[in-house]
Structure 1
C-alpha cells in the first residue's frame, strides 16, 4: 500500500503541519473539518507538499526526518519555503 507524507500550511497560525496517510483526501477533510485535535485551530489548511512512499515504515521515517529538520527548513531546502 502506498503512503503519502504531506505538509499543510495555516495562514491563521502561520504554521506548518506534517503527517503521513494512505488516504490524503480524507485526511485533509479531517484537518479542515476540525476533527483533528492539533490542527483544528488552524483551519483552513492548504496542501503545500506531498511525497509518495512505498510503505508506512518509509513514510513514518520521512515524517520523522522532516520534523527533526524542521518543516520550514525542509521546505527551504527543497525551495518551497513560503
Structure 2
C-alpha cells in the first residue's frame, strides 16, 4: 500500500497547500467539503503534484521537507509550473 505527499492549488486564493495521505481521492474530497482549516477558504482545490512513498513516515517526512522550503518558487519548480 502506498502513501502520498501531495500539493494542491487554489486559483481563488492563488495559494498552494502541501499534505500527505493514503488515499488521494478521499483526501481531496475532504478538502473540498465544508470544514474548518486553511483549505476551507476555497472550493477550487486541484491536485498539482503527488509523490508515492512506501510508508506513512516517508510521506510525512517529504511533506515536512516541502513545507520547510516556505518557497512558492521551489514548489513551482517541483511541480513544473
Give TM-score, length-normalised by structure 2.
0.87
Would you say how many aligned residue pairs link Structure 1 and Structure 2? Answer: 81
Alignment of 1:29-68 (within 5 A): 29-35=29-35, 37-68=37-68
Structure 2 partner of 1:21: 21
Give the deviation of 1:34 after TM superposition. 2.3
Counterpart-to-counterpart distance in 1, 2:36 and 2:51: 21
Give TM-score, length-normalised by structure 1.
0.86
Indicate the SS of the match to 1:78. helix
Contact 2:49 2:79 in 1 (8 A): no
Structure 1: gaps of 5 or more residues: none
After TM superposition, the structure 1 stretch with the greater mean CA deviation from structure 2, 68-77 or 35-44, is 68-77
Structure 2 partner of 1:12: 12
The ranges of structure 1 where at least 4 consecutive aligned residues each deviate by more than 4 angstroms after the TM superposition are none
